[in-house]
Structure 1
Amino acid sequence: MKLPEPIILSSGLTAEVEEDRWVPGSIQLLVDGTPQSHVNLADPGELFFEYIRRIGHVIDLFRPDGAPISALHLGGGAFTLPRYVEATRPGSRQQIVEIEGALVDLVREAAPLPKRASIRVRRGDAREVLQRLPSGMQGAMDLVVVDIFAGDRTPAHVSSVEFYELIRPLLAPDGMVVVNAADGPGLPFVRGQAATLSSLFGSVAAIAEPQVLKGRRFGNVVLLATGAGAADSERDAERDAERDASLDWLPRLLASGPHPARLLTGREFTDFVRGAAVVTDATAVASPAPARELFERG
């Protein structure tokens, strides 16, 4: 497999695509040495990273099996999830927002998107692009995935309530936001994201490996948010009740793995968030960087 040469991104970080020596026919995208994405080119329906598999199971369960969806992916990487959606829900309409145009070109050269797929790539900062999306996307998105990293950290400006307020109007009445948040001991960043989503959405949940959720080691927590918030109209509250009945798939999400796994909802989630402040533009900070040894290559 001939792959393109590494490139320098506008951030000054190095992006490269390498073959996965353990999974034949697969590639991995690294930015500044940190694994960002993994794609099985022979089977895009197979997901590799733990947190991506958890998001994949959300996509599997939150709509009828195989039904096409409308999805917006904030953060492109190697387009792993858009490829997965196309493989498992053919006919879906998807858009990707990626700030690094050179990264888009690198990924397209290494692993072109399926020609039949309805996937549009928009280049630019996610927050800026959200403010100029076509009006037809308002209230139309079944799924918005937030998986934005500059190297190994989520930038502060895409972690605040002002940022998420730009996403909420895009969602269909029963649409869902899925956020990948990485954090270390104590989970201050993740708990802040959870509190922020809770201020805007009627139901929020968290799923991760138990030791990560306990704040004992660095890892990824997947946050799910759906439904109207407390400040919305009575009609939206009625809609919330219908939505709650439709969330009976959450136990299946936990059972789907990868294992071990823990899902926080209801009172457990409330206890998890207690004491965490809603993140605003004035208080936002980038997510913490993982220890470099987590990604050392042998």
Structure 2
Amino acid sequence: MGRKTTRRAPRRSSASSSPPTEPTPPARRGRTGARQQGAGTTRDLPTEEVRTSTGTARLVPDPDGSTGVTLLVNGVPSSHLDLADPGLLTFEYMQQMAAVLAALPPGPLRVVHLGAAGCTLARYVEHERPDSRQLAVDLDADLVARVREWFSLPRAPRLRLRAGDARAELATLPDASVDVVVRDVFAGDTTPGHVTTAGFVGDVLRVLRPGGVYLANCADRPPLALVRAELATAVAALTDDGPRDRDAWGDVGLIAEPGQLKGRRYGNLVLVAVRRPSAASPGAGDDPAEAGLDLDGATLARTLRSLPVPATLLTGQEARRFAGTAAPIEDPPPPAAAADPASSSLPDAAAPRGAAADGRHAVGREDG
């Protein structure tokens, strides 16, 4: 999990279109009438630090006595939820992601969240787009079980929770099967390197349907070298995705507070990439949804400027200039196989049949 910006928005987020929920509502019920799991108020949540698979988790109620709570993972603020209002987003980068989601065609979405934490954005998607189908992945198996116990989360198949490594789990998903992939993966306040590479982004594009969107929470410090490299990486992956009829820089964007773009402080920036249908694909462009998000249009930029903390969208040539000479991030070469003493004198010895080729580990359990 990463350090999230914690400046609070007004109690009602501008990213949500529904009316505020009463502070102490009756227990919510699922669509079938069954009572959902999860605390009704912050008084029902544990106050002590809890051990998890990768460290500790702690829940801190909002000091104003409301129904808001912040989830700290290993001491880092990783999620903020309002128990009574799943449509409320208070972290700035999540409001920015929500603005992108709102610009997509109406209706349910298929969303994969890499880095689940408290599932704040998954709750928001369910609230704003009922009947969506979502998968949330987190490395910490204990945390996956705890958030299901603590918070009122949608049940499977609307939201499936899976414990495992983000990249390994992404590799198991079918081609062109989801509308949105969200990367919000951190170790402390740093994004693990294996989910920043062109190979990883290429697998994201494989999983996205034509017109699908990749959203990445990029935390960086001045001079924002990592964010610049991530922009170059996304362009490289888009360029390798197949025949294109437009410059890949037109399909990437970077969202941030203007002060962050000037390198004034550490913070969260949101990278956006749109997978366009190949111009060579049969029927390309016939489905309006496949045209994808228009990053150059005025609507999204205007929405971002109207957020509680106004944000700027860089795309096209502005994004290219911001990235500058940054090079794409590549996966390291695979380690050389250890020599077999019994065959060291046979330079052409074949690899053992059935040897693992991709190095993926077994995945964790999935919680419905």
In the superposition, the TM-score normalised over structure 2's length comes to 0.69
How far did 1:251 drift?
2.4
The aligned counterpart of 1:162 is 199
Query: What SS does the corresponding residue of 2:44 show, helix, strand or coil?
Result: coil
Match of 1:7 in 2: 50
Runs of at least 5 residues in structure 1 that lack an aligned partner in the other structure: 284-298
Runs ≥4 residues deviating over 2 A = 4-11, 114-117, 232-236, 238-256
Structure 2 portions without partners, runs of 5+: 1-42, 239-247, 334-368
1:23 positional shift: 6.1
Q: 1:17 aligned to 41, 59, 68, which one?
A: 59
Mapped pair 1:211 → 2:259: yes
Partner of 1:252: 302
CA–CA separation in structure 2 for the residues paired with 1:268 and 1:26: 37
1:113 aligns with 2:153: yes
What letter matches 1:204 in structure 2?
V
1:86 is matched with 126
- Kindly indicate whether residue 316 of structure 2 is the aligned counterpart of residue 266 of structure 1: yes
Pick the aligned partner of 2:328 from 246, 263, 278. 278
Aligned pairs for 1:89-168 within 5 A: 89-115=129-155, 118-133=158-173, 135=174, 138-168=175-205
- The residue number in structure 2 matching 1:61 is 103
Counterpart amino acid of 1:234? A
1:41 to 76, 79, 83: 83
Identity of aligned residues (%): 41
Matching residue of 1:198 = 235
Number of aligned residue pairs: give it: 275
Question: Alpha-carbon deviation of 1:227?
Answer: 2.5
**Structure 2 residue 295 is matched with structure 1 residue 223:** no
Distance 1:221 1:120 in 2: 27
Compare the two structures and name the one with the higher strand fraction: 1
Distance 1:130 1:116 in 2: 18
Letter aligned with residue 163 of structure 1: F
Give the direction of change, closer, same or farther, for the CA distance of 1:245–1:217 in structure 2 (3 Å limit): closer
User: CA, structure 1 residues 161+14, in 2 after alignment: closer, same or farther (shift >3 Å)?
Assistant: same
User: Hey, which of these two has a bigger chunk of helix by percent?
Assistant: 1
| Contact 1:54/1:258, CA 8 A, preserved across alignment | no
Q: CA deviation at 1:114?
A: 3.3
